[in-house]
């Protein structure tokens, strides 16, 4: 391969990566949004969340809700989870202030992190998925 042909190949690869980057990030952010929403109403397998207190369960049940579905009462908080891509970054989160307190806890509410657990659980998958997609863009 001539130096000129190699330069053209690199230019094409860079253009392909830039053109495909937003789509890749959006695909991965959408996947993570689905994973985050799936955590609502369930306890993590590793037991990182405390059970809802009996009083909380009783109050929920008396209001017609499932008694022991953490973070899930009306579904409004779950539906606040969204994703977006800006530049070279993808974001998954919630603008609902209640989610902030659920994530870190308060004096009366134990933490029930969704996004913190998601990052721990999914980091390897994120890197592999994006790396594989970029490799495919480069190699055609």
Q: What is the pLDDT of residue 76?
A: 96
Lowest-pLDDT range of 6-10, 53-57, 89-93, 103-107: 6-10
Domain membership of residue 100 (yes or no) is yes
Beta-strand ranges (E) seen in 67-108 are 81-86, 89-94
Q: What is the pLDDT of residue 63?
A: 93
Task: Check whether 101 has a pLDDT greater than 90.
Answer: yes
Domain membership of residue 1 (yes or no) is no
Domain membership of residue 83 (yes or no) is yes
Q: Domain limits at 102?
A: 18-139
Domain membership of residue 57 (yes or no) is yes
Average pLDDT value over all residues in the chain: 87
pTM for this prediction: 0.78
Q: What is the pLDDT of residue 112?
A: 93
Domain membership of residue 3 (yes or no) is no
Domain membership of residue 4 (yes or no) is no
Task: Check whether 80 has a pLDDT greater than 90.
Answer: yes
Domain membership of residue 12 (yes or no) is no
Domain membership of residue 27 (yes or no) is yes
Percent of the chain with pLDDT over 70: 92
Between CA 30 and CA 37, with CA 31 as vertex, the angle to 5 degrees is 90
φ, ψ (nearest 5 deg) of residue 46: -85, 5
Total number of domains constituting the chain: 1
């Amino acid at each position: 391969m001539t130096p000129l042909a190699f330069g053209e190949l690199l230019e094409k690869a860079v253009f392909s990566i830039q053109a495909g980057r937003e789509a890749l990030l959006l695909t991965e952010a959408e996947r993570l949004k689905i994973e985050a929403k799936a955590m609502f109403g369930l306890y993590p397998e590793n037991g990182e969340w405390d059970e809802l207190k009996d009083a909380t369960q009783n109050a929920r049940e008396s209001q017609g809700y499932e008694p022991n579905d953490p973070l899930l009462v009306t579904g409004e908080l779950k539906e606040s989870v969204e994703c977006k891509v800006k530049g070279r970054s993808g974001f998954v989160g919630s603008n609902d202030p209640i989610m902030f307190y659920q994530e870190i806890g308060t004096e009366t509410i134990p933490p029930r992190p969704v996004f913190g657990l998601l990052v721990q659980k999914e980091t390897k998958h994120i890197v592999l998925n994006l790396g594989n997609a970029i490799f495919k863009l480069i190699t055609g």
